[in-house]
Amino acid sequence: MSKKILVVDDDELVLIAIRELLTPVGFAVTTSPNGCDALEKTASDQFDLVILDVIMPEMDGFEVCQQIRQIASYAETPVMMLTAKSGEEDRQRGLEMGANLYLPKPISPKRLIALVEEAIK
C-alpha cells in the first residue's frame, strides 16, 4: 500500500507540482487549499506525512501544524513545512509548533523526493 501524503498550500500550482512530482514515485497525494480544509481531512483520514505551507489566508501553517499535533493519531506523523518564509525565526517557530522539517522554497525536486522518502520510512 502506498504511503499517503497531505499537501497543504493556497497556491494551486504548488499543489499540482508536488502531486505530479510525488505520485509517479509511488505516493498517494491528497491536496488541500487551506488550513481549515486540511484539518477536516486529517480528522477523517490518516496520512503518513503532512507537507505544509506557512503563508495561507485565514489560518497560517504554524497554527495548522499546532492543531494537527493536538490530534492523538498525528502525534508521531511527520510534518514538513515547505515555505517561502526562510528566516531563522520562522524556522524556529515552525519547529516549536511541531514540524519535523522546515524547508525553504524553492527546493529541487530530487531533494524534496529524498526528504519525503526519508521522513516516512
H-only helix segments in 5-106: 12-22, 35-44, 61-69, 88-96
CB atoms inside a 10 Å sphere around CB 6: 24
Q: Which of 100, 38, 25 is nearest to 67 (CA)?
A: 38
The amino acid present at 38, given as its one-letter code, is A
Q: What is the pTM of this model?
A: 0.96
The amino acid present at 58, given as its one-letter code, is E
Domains of the chain: 4-114 (3.40.50.2300)
Residues in the chain, total: 121
What is the chain's pLDDT, residue by residue, as a tens digit (121 residues)?
Answer: 799 999 999 999 999 999 999 999 999 999 999 999 999 999 999 999 999 999 998 999 999 999 999 999 999 999 999 999 888 999 999 999 999 999 999 999 999 999 999 999 8
